Structure 1
Amino acid sequence: MDQSVFTANSERVRRQNEQPITVIIANPPYSAGQKSANENNANDHYETLDGRIMETYAATSRAAHKGQLYDSYIRAFRWASDRIAGINREGKGLIGFVSNGGWLDNIAFDGFRKALCAEFSDIYVFNLRGNQRTKREESRREGGKVFGSGSRSTIAITLLIRDPDADHQGTVHYHDIGDYLSREEKLEMVNEAVNGEEFEWRTVTPDEHGDWLAQRDDSFDRFAPLALGKLKPPLGLFATYSLGISTNRDYYSYGYSKTEVEKNIRRLINTYTSELVRWKGLDKLSNIKQFVIKDIHLIKWSVSLYDQLRKGTRIVYSDDYLVKSVYRPFTKRWLYYDPHLIERMLKNANLFPLNLLAKADDPHHVSEQGQNSNELDAVIKASSLPFINRVIDVSGVGNTGFSCLMSEEIICLDAVQKGQCFPLYWYEPIDDSMKVPEGELDLGDAPTLKPGDLIVEAKSGERFIRHDAITDDALRVFREAYPSNRTLHADDVSKAKEGVFYYVYGLLNSPEYRERFSTNLRKELPRIPFAADFEAYQLAGRRLAALHVNYEKVERCLSIDGGNDGRIVEDWSEGTDHSDPGNVHKLRFGRTAKTQDNPQGKDKTTIAVNRNVSLHGIPDEAYRYEVSGRSAIEWIMDQYQVRTDGKSGIINDPNDWVRESGNPRYIVDLLESVVTVSIETMKIVDSLPPLNEQTNPSFWPMGW
């Protein structure tokens, strides 16, 4: 027991802690704490126990986020391990847990796995599988949930044997129950194992990363890193990058209707302001979380918003913060882009400065001279740029399957799983207060421009330096790796770095790359090999980027001869205006006979838009292109439906976006365009040559 918690009976607790215990058997709880700052059910803090987790499991972990190490069941492992070891750390004994098995292969638990090997002579793990947070075939392979509806997690039986006198340490014995088993079949196998049926254990040798299962390909470490973690030298290929936007209040901050987002945000800000007034009149030692109103219909609190209230920060609504963004693959929504209401802004303000995003609404801005000029007074207007930025959004560490997606608008954290955004450019604000008045001596305080830099002026008059995000070292490495490539050796440095950027996007879409390094890509950020054919990959990257950012404008996959050309046929109800299909509530697949391979009886060649129109003849090929485990078509079907948030009551209706777009056919046209995008994407991807990666050039930056 933790004496820091049970202070009233500390002497009795001390005596109990001194008594040896040799066997601990349990099914510990799986709680990971509260899901929202509007709730008051955070895990209790145990100072001594959490301190032990920090100095053992967390100390050896390479994971960026270690919060899961304080989940209740991991705390139970830590407590039981220390209790068996005893005060003098010489105890012998056994621990038997039936628990969440997420720790077996999750990057966040690398330090936990290392500690088990260091503290126990033998570790036996019987993996019962059942992870229903997976999708499709992988979900079916995981089989039935051992606890029925009680858990969607992997379940594992773990036996830990501690024997300091053993002639070995940290031997891992592992048994996987197998694929496609029902709950009943799994329980029968457990029963047979208990009754002494033959049972085969596989000895697992942990690698240097603390991985037991699905170990990485070490050749991956020889490739060029996109990033090296912290944004300070040494850098990877990119000078900067950022997680996607995380608001912690998506149903308030995002929406298909600009008007509805404004209404919801105004209600939230008004509630915050009234709470700010009340808070200012109180003793600042009060518990702010218990003080504030927590009506989810009025406000959604978060750690950042609590901090701003505590500091007395005033928040004022402005229409300028309403911008278009990518919320999910091939799905745009309005976003309220106020840093006060973004939980984790990180570097997004440098990738998509708010004042530059106003360009689309100002057709009167015209281009001026000054591209690649070293004169700060020679600028190019933001409105003359083809786009403010492009980012390659890649699945972050801990993903369940790697994906990437190009965007030229602000992108949500969950557009791809745990998305990290690697930009073509980044923007640095110019402090014009430092500008030397005419006639005075310039002492050199003005910023200097490097080759490729560009001065950009926003509608507001604010000026920025647009820097290339690909580093100088990265360009030098690529030029040495490909000495005869014209793109890389162009006189225009910005154009040369652009070639590297699109090469990266082309390579990240390579099926060979994704398959060979699938485990690495789940557990670390991508590293980029030097493929034998640079030009093929960079041209593929450009073509893929054009498809993925311009998906709304791509030619629709619409038949002109009744479907004989293998394209989509629109089936309209009699008398319906083909230019206006009407409101869409939920897109649905057609129906067909249920089979073992298609247990839900979905006919994916047909999508019913509403009672007025259905689409027939959707090619099977269109479903091959997937982002984050779901086809692009199915992302459209998932996102373009009317939804009501169960807690706040906020309604998000894609028909509002349709009305604001001025195109009543928007959703129908979008589906038909995304079918083309999907088919053309797979044509490009399938045509990529083998990697046949080259050896690294002689110049190789320190830390890579």
Structure 2
Amino acid sequence: MSSNVELIFDQNVLRQSTYRPYSKQWLYFDRSLVSDIGKMPRFFPDPSHENRMIVLKMRWSGDGNLALMANEPIELQSDGGTQCFPLYLYDQHDEEPGGLFEGQSSGLQRSDAITDAGLAHFHAAYRGEAISKEDIFYYVYGLLHSPDYRDRYADNLTKELPRIPCVKTYADFRAFLEAGRRLGDLHVNYETVDPYPVTYKQGTPELWKIDDPKAFYRVAKMKFGGKRPKTDKTTVVYNANITMTDIPLEAYDYIINGKPALEWVMERQVVKTDKAIGIVNDANDYANETMNDPAYPLDLFRRVITVSLETMKSVNSLPKLDLLK
């Protein structure tokens, strides 16, 4: 470093993080190397403290979804930045003065990130209904996935944070809330959903002869079938051994941060050398060393097909945006 400060590697600060949508990387979660750590330590102080947050890409382009949900630190992208809105906040809690252990920390205290005033606002809108702060959190996530909402507020959303209105009826509030909860679970737990049953050009995987799984499943760069400008997105060439076919085109309708989620997977599950500094980003290392599964990139693509289809099913089932006046 330019300041000539010696740093000692600490394995305990390594954390899994979301680097791009549906793409994880290991993060050295420490201020000594991370120049802008932001409020992430208040959201995710350590792996034992669970949390979720709604992630908004700033300078929304008008293409696709506004928000993604994460349950771990994320990379705050430089092209416009990122705003994160957590379900909980964690802060160091000290004993009250005069207590038995005065002056000593008693650990982390969790509080709701949604304010009492925010909760009161929704209670006033739907009098007599039982609404929690967690309900509001998932209502917001469901609302941000509404095509009607994006269309109505498109001009504002390209230059300012979303404003959250109340829908006209409590039934619609519940519909957005339940959709938001389904979407949140789906987007956070994408690594455990059932992989989509694609067809393989090479036949049934159970009949494949695989002597060396690491070599057989190694991915360097996935590509679409066909040739530009007539690429075939129903076909993806994974590597020389594997070609997926019959990929439903509607899976590409799920767009996040200006790009289909499936194309984020294709972009990040690669072997690529940074020309400026020479560091090699090899997705196979994460597959083999972290996941202990050489086929992880292949199954990740198939899982995100499922995520994409289920996301669009929930989005298309949202009620029309009828607001409380």
TM-score when normalising by structure 2: 0.90
Q: Does 1:337 align with 2:29?
A: yes
Gaps of 5+ in 2: none
What code does the residue aligned with 2:252 have?
A: Y
- Report the Cα distance in structure 2 between the residues aligned to 1:334 and 1:436, rounded to whole angstroms: 41
Deviations 1:257-281 (A, max 9, x none): xxxxxxxxxxxxxx557x35xxxxx
Q: Distance in 2 between matches of 1:540 and 1:416?
A: 29
Provide Cα deviations, 1:4-37, integer angstroms capped at 9, x if missing partner.
xxxxxxxxxxxxxxxxxxxxxxxxxxxxxxxxxx
Higher Rg of the two aligned structures: 1
Residue 482 of structure 1: how far off its partner (Å): 1.2
- CA distance, structure 2, for counterparts of residue 327 and residue 501 of structure 1: 23
Distance 1:315 1:603, change over 3 A: same
Decide whether the 8 Å contact of 1:417 with 1:628 is kept in 2: no
- 2:219 corresponds to which of 569, 584, 589: 584
| CA spacing shift, 1:538–1:417, aligned 2, 3 Å | farther
Among 262, 279, 285, the residue aligned to 1:633: 262
CA distance in 1, matches of 2:287, 2:40: 28
Indicate conservation of the 8 Å contact 1:624/1:682, yes or no: yes
| Separation (CA, whole Å) in 2 of partners of 1:584 and 1:435 | 61
**CA–CA separation in structure 2 for the residues paired with 1:626 and 1:582:** 27
Q: Which amino acid aligns with 1:586?
A: K
Kept in 2: contact 1:644–1:652 (CA 8 A): yes
Partner of 2:54: 392
1:436 aligned residue: 99
**1:411 Cα deviation after fit:** 0.9
Q: Is the 8 A contact 1:399 1:418 kept in 2?
A: no
The residue type paired with residue 477 of structure 1 is H
Going from structure 1 to structure 2, the CA distance change for 1:470 and 1:612 (only over 3 Å counts) comes to same
Matched, 1:411 2:71: no
The answer to whether structure 1 residue 600 and structure 2 residue 244 are counterparts is no
> Aligned letter for 1:328?
R
What residue number does 2:188 align with?
A: 549
Correspondence 1:353-432 to 2 at 5 A: 353=45, 356-357=46-47, 359=48, 382=49, 388-396=50-58, 398-401=59-62, 403-414=66-77, 418-431=81-94
Distance 1:435 1:330, change over 3 A: farther
Please say if residues 391 and 423 of structure 1, whose CA atoms lie closer than 8 Å, have aligned partners that are also in contact: yes
Alpha-carbon separation, structure 2, partners of 1:435 and 1:320 = 34
Query: Do the aligned partners of 2:195 and 2:305 also contact (CA within 8 Å) in 1?
Result: yes
Instruction: Say if 1:435 and 1:619 are closer, same or farther in 2 by CA, change over 3 A.
Output: farther
- Alignment identity in percent? 41
Helix, strand or coil: the match of 1:572?
coil
| 1:644-685 deviation digits (Å, cap 9, x = unpaired) | 111110111000011021112111111111001000100100
Pick one of 123, 131, 136 that aligns with 1:479. 123
Q: Residues 113-124 of structure 1 correspond to what in structure 2 (within 5 A)? A: none
Distance 2:140 2:114 in 1: 11
Q: Quote the residue 2:13 is aligned against.
A: 321
CA distance in 2, matches of 1:523, 1:664: 42
Runs of 4+ in 1 over 4 A off after TM superposition: 432-435
Q: CA deviation at 1:320?
A: 1.5
The separation in 1 between residues aligned to 2:159 and 2:272, in whole angstroms, is 34
Gaps of 5+ in 1: 1-270, 277-313, 360-381, 383-387, 447-460, 489-495, 559-567, 593-598, 696-704
Q: Distance in 2 between matches of 1:517 and 1:681?
A: 21
CA distance in 1 between counterparts of 2:79 and 2:136 reads: 22
Cα contact 1:327–1:411 (8 A) shared by 2: yes
**Number of residue pairs matched by the alignment:** 314
Aligned residues of 1:405 and 1:416 also touching (Cα < 8 A): no
- Asked whether the equivalents of residues 416 and 627 of structure 1 are also in contact (C-alpha less than 8 Å), the reply is no
Asked if the contact 1:570/1:616 (under 8 Å) is kept, the reply is: yes
Residue type at the aligned position of 1:316: I
Query: Per the alignment, do residues 553 and 687 of structure 1 end up closer, same or farther by CA in structure 2, a change over 3 Å counting?
Result: same
> 3-state SS of the aligned residue for 2:322?
coil
Deviations 1:355-384 (A, max 9, x none): x22x3xxxxxxxxxxxxxxxxxxxxxx4xx
Q: Is the 8 A contact 1:572 1:578 kept in 2?
A: no
Counterpart CA distance in 2 for 1:578 and 1:480 is: 65
| 1:434 CA drift (Å) | 6.4
The 1:571–1:503 alpha-carbon spacing in structure 2 relative to 1, beyond 3 Å, is same
2:186 maps to amino acid: L
2-structure distance, mates of 1:325, 1:415: 16
The reply on whether 1:677 has 2:313 as its aligned counterpart is no
Number of the residue aligned with 1:289? none
Note the aligned Cα RMSD (angstroms): 2.4
2:60–2:66 contact (8 Å) kept in structure 1: no
More RCO (CA 8 Å, sep 6+): 2
Query: Which residue in 2 is equivalent to 1:186?
Result: none
The one-letter code of the counterpart of 2:278 is G
Q: Deviations over 1:414-451 (max 9, x none)?
A: 2995210000001111236968337xxx8xx89xxxxx
Report the Cα distance in structure 2 between the residues aligned to 1:629 and 1:339, rounded to whole angstroms.
Answer: 30
CA distance in 2, matches of 1:415, 1:425: 25
- Hey, what's the Cα distance between the residues in 2 that align with 1:416 and 1:509? 22
SS in 2 for 1:430: strand
Give the whole-Å Cα distance in 1 for the aligned partners of 2:129 and 2:250. 34
Query: 1:75 — aligned with what?
Result: none
TM-score, structure 1 normalization: 0.43
